[in-house]
Structure 1
Amino acid sequence: MKEQQHFRTRAYGRTELAQLYSPSLAPSAAWRRLAEWIDRYPGLAERLAATGYQPGSRSWTPAQVAMIVEAIGEP
């Protein structure tokens, strides 16, 4: 029996986090999908920007990851 992994809030690379949400997609496609979800969720992009996140950023802080998970759920 395979043990279920529990998601841990920590710093993630943007593609690393995106692939947790869309493991069947190529890394770049997974990132585009996560970016779309962030843009579509009301107020999420603005909340992330208020923490210093910029569209070209390559990583997420634990606080930013928590905001994403709160908005769209655990991967």
Structure 2
Amino acid sequence: MTNVQTQQPDQTFRLRTYKKNELAMMYFPDVSKDAASRNFRRWIRQCPPMQKELRAIGYDKNRQYLLKAEVEIIVRHLGEPY
């Protein structure tokens, strides 16, 4: 009998620059990338205080990447993913 160890991916969240769909998949890991992105955008739209903070630092909803400062705001409002 062999002892097979399953190695789990690192589930520790790091505050850094992320692609939007990458961060969306962290919040919605069990759905497709498109569905995760739609849900993530909806969460941002439905949180006016977060939107206000993001706009204040120059958030561009069309940019593919989220800057570290933007991720910090998102995590403060939504909590850490996973």
Shared fold by TM > 0.5?
yes
| C-alpha distance in structure 2 between counterparts of 1:28 and 1:36, whole Å | 12
Root-mean-square deviation (CA, aligned residues, Å) is 1.5
Using the size of structure 2 for normalisation, the TM-score is 0.82
In the TM superposition, 1:1-75 aligns within 5 A as 2=8, 5-75=11-81
Identity %: 36
Structure with greater Cα Rg: 2
| C-alpha distance in structure 1 between counterparts of 2:9 and 2:66, whole Å | 27
| C-alpha distance in structure 1 between counterparts of 2:53 and 2:21, whole Å | 20
Runs of 4 or more, structure 1, over 6 Å off, are none
Using the size of structure 1 for normalisation, the TM-score is 0.89
| C-alpha distance in structure 2 between counterparts of 1:59 and 1:73, whole Å | 19
**The residue matched to 2:48 in structure 1 has which SS?**
coil
**The residue matched to 1:28 in structure 2 has which SS?**
helix
Deviation at 1:42, TM superposition (A): 2.9
Structure 2 unaligned blocks of 5 or more: 1-5
